Amino acid sequence: MPHLAVLRFPGSNCDDDARHALERVTGADVRFVWHADSDLGGAGGVLVPGGFSYGDYLRSGALAAQSPVMHAVRAFAERGGPVLGICNGFQVLTEAGMLPGALARNEGLAFVCRTVTVEVQRDDHPLLAGLRRGQRLRLPVAHHDGRYVADDATLDALEAEGRVVLRYLPAADPDGNPNGAMRDIAGIVGGRGNVLGMMPHPERAAEALLGGEDGVPLLRAFARAAGVSA
């Protein structure tokens, strides 16, 4: 069975959390890959974790996107390998050009850490297998730069192609869009549907002890897409 890779940039800080949750939920063998490495060691799937890679200096994720390991991740994704970017990982993937758009400073200007409701928009992507369209998930967010932005043409194309996969639900909760993201976008897929970037943290919602398990199906779908029989 293939193993799962969790990238480690200087300044990543959800790397341990992601490994812990993946091991616990999927039973997978999870290994860290250092940012300076240029190969992924035969991993079946790559998780780009949250944190403040390179201090998020310049722009969140911008410096990490230039690191050697990202060449390997790009090539891996082009071969159809599953890549899941969470929070800073989502920022890295947009900065690396692997997902369209960008993550700008939260509209409220402050860091925001709380649990939000997101609605699953698609269930026909391998990285969302096992979730239902319309399903609502309670997931924690914790970010300063989570406002998804793109030009209208890009946004329209994302919608038309069904690549907006997770949306905040301001209708259900007046503070439901925590960062002012355009069209309430919380997560999108790119590539051939094998690259998922999302601001909420499924690895923080993977144990009832910590307040919820709504992140579990997302972690399981990622592991299965990577060939791990979770």
Among 101, 191, 193, 200, binds another protein (CB under 8 A): 101
Residues 87, 95, 143, 144: which is the catalytic one?
87
- Element of type H or E holding 95: helix 88-95
Say how far apart CA 140 and CA 111 lie, in whole Å: 13
**Amino acid in the structure at residue 104:** A
Note whether 69 and 34 are within 8 A (CB).
yes
* Interaction of residue 48 with another protein, rule CB under 8 A: no
* Interaction of residue 157 with another protein, rule CB under 8 A: no
Question: How many CB atoms lie under 10 A from the CB of residue 156?
Answer: 12
**Amino acid in the structure at residue 88:** N
Q: What are phi and psi of 149, to 5 degrees?
A: -130, 150
CA 58 to chain centre: 21
Token pair, residue 224, equals 């299965």
Residues 126-155 touching another protein, rule: CB under 8 A, are 140, 142, 144, 147, 149-151
Least Å distance between CB 89 and another protein? 14
Task: Please choose, out of 25-33, 110-118, 158-166, 216-224, the segment that lies near another protein by the rule CB under 8 A.
Answer: 110-118
* Interaction of residue 52 with another protein, rule CB under 8 A: yes
List all residues 6 or more positions away from 209 whose beta carbon is below 8 Å from its beta carbon: none
Among 110, 153, 174, 229, binds another protein (CB under 8 A): 110
* Interaction of residue 210 with another protein, rule CB under 8 A: yes
Task: Show which residues are catalytic.
Answer: 87, 201, 203
Binding region for another protein (CB under 8 A): 10-11, 13-14, 16-17, 20-21, 36, 50-52, 54-59, 62, 66, 94-95, 100-102, 104-114, 140, 142, 144, 147, 149-151, 180, 201, 203-204, 206-207, 209-211
